[in-house]
Amino acid sequence: MWQFGEVALAIAIAPLFMGWISQCRAWMQNRSAPPLTQSYRMLRKLFHKDAAVATDASLLFRGTPYVLFGTMVLAAAIIPSLATDLPFARAADAIALIGLFATARVFLSLAAMDIGTAFGTMGARREMMIGFLAEPALLMVLFNAFLLYGSTSLPNLVNEYAARHTVIDPSVIFAAVAFVMVLLAENARIPIDNPGTHLELTMIHEAMLLEYSARHLALVEWASSLKLFNYACIGFALFLPWGIATHGADGGVPLLAAVAALVAKLTVAGAALALIESLSAKLRIFRAPEYLAMAFLLAVLGLLVHLLLGANINA
């Protein structure tokens, strides 16, 4: 029951989270902001349009939006955003989750190349470069948490955390910074990519979507906002798990508390992301490896810190 509620909530509020970030960004740049519901209006508009598909498009191109949306929904089912008692989560641990994101990336890149335009290929090429640099960094971040709590399953991590109530391990701070860097890179945000740009030559994520329209585009956009939402929830599960209803917690009260905690966390996280994006410029694309290497290094440092100091703290 909670499982379905959680997935439904994720699908419903992911665009809202995106809208909130846009709103914060606009405020920070002294612009008047679009309404919070702007993302929903966009989706509605796109779903009402007739889809135009390139003449050379194969089934891969048409099918990818559904694959993307499906993988992101599945990921939302695995990530304990509200509760840890998730039947789906037993099927996959956090490493499989990374695989899920990688699947989506591969499909989107192939679909972008399927059309044969210069921009699609260019975007796909860049996306793969960012992806193969970001994944090891993300794995390292997760290893930090695995070492700390002795499990690779996200719900178990959260349960374990709730059971222990220890002081914050210093390694977590390194891992958290690395995670935020990966989150920005993986979700096509500044400083790696610019979601607001109209300059086709600088695009990464957007370049792959140029040929999509109407319902296909809507699904891809929705999947993108779900991906960002999922990443945020992974971050909460790893670093800020307070408020998530743990095993054995029954009834509506913990659940309502979990929803309230999630909304509060998303509000703060959205504002923080917007702040980071407003303060920084986009990196020259060949600085991206340096940036992601830095994220990797921080995560490794976190591991080292844990291995050197962790024993004492846990003792």
Number of residues near another protein (by CB under 8 A): 30
> Is residue 8 involved in binding another protein (CB under 8 A)?
no
Q: Please give the single-letter amino acid code of residue 93.
A: D
Using CA atoms, how far apart are residues 132 and 134, in angstroms rounded to an integer?
6
To the nearest 10°, report the CA torsion of 72, 115, 46, 24. Answer: 60
What are the structure tokens assigned to 291, written together? 């940036």
Q: What are phi and psi of 245, to 5 degrees?
A: -70, 120
Q: What are phi and psi of 40, to 5 degrees?
A: -65, -40
Contact 24, 271 (CB under 8 A): yes
Kindly identify the residues of this chain, within the stretch 235-254, that bind another protein according to CB under 8 A.
Answer: none
Kindly identify the residues of this chain, within the stretch 264-283, that bind another protein according to CB under 8 A.
Answer: 278, 280-283
Measured from the CB of residue 11, what is the shortest distance to another protein in angstroms?
Answer: 29
The correct pick among 285, 294, 297, 313 for binding another protein (CB under 8 A) is: 285
Write the CA distances from 210 to 96, 228, 270, integer angstroms. Answer: 29, 20, 26
| String marking each residue 23-62 x if it binds another protein according to CB under 8 A | --x--xxxx-------------------------------
Angle 170-176-180 (CA atoms, 0-180°, nearest 5)? Answer: 160
Contact 46, 214 (CB under 8 A): yes
Using CA atoms, how far apart are residues 315 and 250, in angstroms rounded to an integer?
32
Using CA atoms, how far apart are residues 63 and 186, in angstroms rounded to an integer?
22
- In the complex with another protein, which residue's Cβ is closer, 165 or 286? 286
| String marking each residue 195-224 x if it binds another protein according to CB under 8 A | -xxxxxxxx--x---x--------------
Measured from the CB of residue 279, what is the shortest distance to another protein in angstroms?
Answer: 8
The correct pick among 132, 272, 284, 293 for binding another protein (CB under 8 A) is: 284
Measured from the CB of residue 61, what is the shortest distance to another protein in angstroms?
Answer: 19
- In the complex with another protein, which residue's Cβ is closer, 139 or 294? 294
Kindly identify the residues of this chain, within the stretch 101-140, that bind another protein according to CB under 8 A.
Answer: 118-119, 122
Kindly identify the residues of this chain, within the stretch 174-193, that bind another protein according to CB under 8 A.
Answer: 190-191
Chain residues that interact with another protein, rule: CB under 8 A: 25, 28-31, 118-119, 122, 190-191, 194, 196-203, 206, 210, 278, 280-287
